Amino acid sequence: MKLLVTGGAGFIGSNFVRYMVNKYPDYNIVNLDLLTYAGNLENLKDIENKPNYKFVRGDIADRDFVQGLFQEEKFDFVINFAAESHVDRSITDPGIFVQTNIQGTLALLDAAKSFDVKKYLQVSTDEVYGTLGETGYFTEETPLAANSPYSASKAGADLLVRAYHETFGLPVNITRCSNNYGPYHFPEKLIPLMIINALNDKELPVYGDGLNIRDWLYVEDHCQAIDLVLHKGRDGEVYNVGGNNERTNIDIVKTILKQLGKPESLIKYVKDRPGHDRRYAIDATKLRTELGWQPKHNFDTGIKETIDWYLNNREWWENIISGEYQEYFKSQYGDRLGVE
Ligand code: NAD
Ligand code: DAU
């Protein structure tokens, strides 16, 4: 069995590649990644020499390159993680989100169709459903109502995937997961940003009133869900993934400070994200009942393990934040935190 995993050098992709390389020694796994700012081969150091693993650098939106790779490798399965993934960046520069998330998905779908792959799995997000009020959950039937350029590009990609199933009979699945956390999470996102700022005694920028809610899932539980859908998902179906773990942002930030023994005076409420979705909450009944998925990690132990991982892997994140990340931080937070 030959698998193409795109975006396998990013946060979730690298956790998934490790999970699959170790679980299926007789599968051949090809990781295609452009190595943008978010891609990092350090994430895969421990498995890079495994005989069932190969890395290829390239752009999923480069149609000729993608067709050539499919012709050469004859993939059975394609799992598309590759994306521009950060909402705040999509607000300042939407174009690259359309390019990678929509054009890239289209190029992969065309190649999957030309070379008869057995399954194309699109890794999507709960953000395509928009926002919830104080009650209710996203189900697979919730209409798409994306609110950010990021989620709009992911919703556009989801509709293309659906269309390739309906129109051309391509065997596809779409997974829509809630917020992930765990090792190798890039420090532009809430949890790693707050851990690292706290460790460096820097202010923790909380958007708006801090009461927006996200539904957090440990990354390995997401990987396990994708493995199940890949092997057992019914063609053409969407599966929501989420662990019923809703938390306000301020609760997350205070939990991190408490574990690190840092003062709450580091918290700074800053200007809100434009179009900030208030609440996400996933109903994963379909995945649980149809495919028997059960998350293994609870949040209290998962967040502790995650914080410990950042404490024990300083070199990994110090390398990241010493580079172009400095410019990014200044452009996103300079005004909000009043720092040069
Ligand atoms: P990430 O930003 O950490 O990683 C994205 C990876 O894609 C990087 O390695 C990057 O180099 C690669 N990439 C970007 N553009 C590329 C291109 N044109 N060609 C090839 N590779 C390219 O993202 P993540 O948080 O790991 O998210 C992975 C996927 O999961 C995304 O599709 C995202 O929408 C989805 N998702 C993420 C979350 C979450 O909480 N992080 C939740 C649900 C769904
Ligand atoms: O729900 C799944 C989505 O989760 C994925 O599709 C996205 O790829 C992923 O980035 C994530 O999106 P969010 O916007 O929810 O994640 P982020 O970590 O950027 O923000 C989480 C919450 O924390 C959100 O309400 C905004 C808030 N926040 C974020 C940052 C970076 C802050 O208050 N301060 C910050 O500095």
Chain segment 203-250, per-residue pLDDT in tens: 999 999 999 999 999 999 999 999 999 999 999 999 999 999 999 999
- Whether 227 is catalytic: no
Residue 174: how many other CB atoms lie within 10 Å: 26
> What's the pLDDT at 335?
86
Does residue 40 lie within any of the structural domains? yes
Q: For the chain, what is the mean pLDDT?
A: 97
Report the Cα–Cα distance between both ends of the chain, in Å, rounded: 52
Testing ligand 1's pocket by substitution, the residue of 16, 36, 128 carrying the most ligand atoms inside 8 A of its CB is 36
- Whether 126 is catalytic: yes
pLDDT at 307 over 70: yes
Is the Cβ atom of 147 under 6 angstroms away from ligand 2?
A: no
Does residue 334 lie within any of the structural domains? no
Q: What is the token pair recorded at 221?
A: 């539980």
Q: For the residues 16-45, what does the mean pLDDT come to?
A: 98
Q: Write the CA distances from 22 to 52, 212, 240, integer angstroms.
A: 9, 37, 25
| Bridge partners, 132 (sequence order) | 279
> What's the pLDDT at 235?
98
pLDDT tier at 340, thresholds 50, 70, 90: low
| pLDDT, tens digit, 9 for 90 and up, residues 84-134 | 999 999 999 999 999 999 999 999 999 999 999 999 999 999 999 999 999
pLDDT at 324 over 90: no
Is the Cβ atom of 146 under 6 angstroms away from ligand 2?
A: no
Ligand that comes closest to the CA of residue 214: 2
Does residue 267 lie within any of the structural domains? no
| pLDDT, tens digit, 9 for 90 and up, residues 272-282 | 999 999 999 99
Q: Would residue 210 be called left, alpha or beta, if left means φ above 0 and alpha means ψ between -120 and 50 degrees?
A: left
Does residue 112 lie within any of the structural domains? yes
> What's the pLDDT at 323?
82
| Domain boundaries, position 15 | 2-181+218-241
Ligand that comes closest to the CA of residue 191: 2
Does residue 119 lie within any of the structural domains? yes
Question: Of residues 19, 137, 150, 164, which has the active-site annotation?
Answer: 150
Does residue 275 lie within any of the structural domains? no
Q: What is the token pair recorded at 87?
A: 């909402």
Which pTM value belongs to this model?
Answer: 0.98
pLDDT tier at 24, thresholds 50, 70, 90: very high
Rounded to whole angstroms, the Cα distance separating 337 from 325 reads 16
CA of 68 to the centre of ligand 2 (A): 36
Give the E-state strand segments of 183-321 in sequence order.
204-207, 213-215, 217-218, 238-241, 246-248, 267-270
Does residue 324 lie within any of the structural domains? no
pLDDT at 339 over 80: no
Q: Residue of the nearest CA to atom 21 in ligand 2?
A: 190
Residue 129: how many other CB atoms lie within 10 Å: 25
- Whether 150 is catalytic: yes
**CA 213 from chain center: how many Å?**
17
CATH code, 66: 3.40.50.720
Q: Kindly give the number of the ligand 1 atom that is closest to the alpha carbon of 177.
A: 43
pLDDT at 253 over 90: yes
Contacts of 251 (CB under 8 A, 6+ apart): none
Q: Residue of the nearest CA to atom 13 in ligand 1?
A: 82
Does residue 174 lie within any of the structural domains? yes
Is the Cβ atom of 7 under 6 angstroms away from ligand 1?
A: yes
Q: For the residues 301-322, what does the mean pLDDT come to?
A: 97
How many domains are contained in the chain?
1
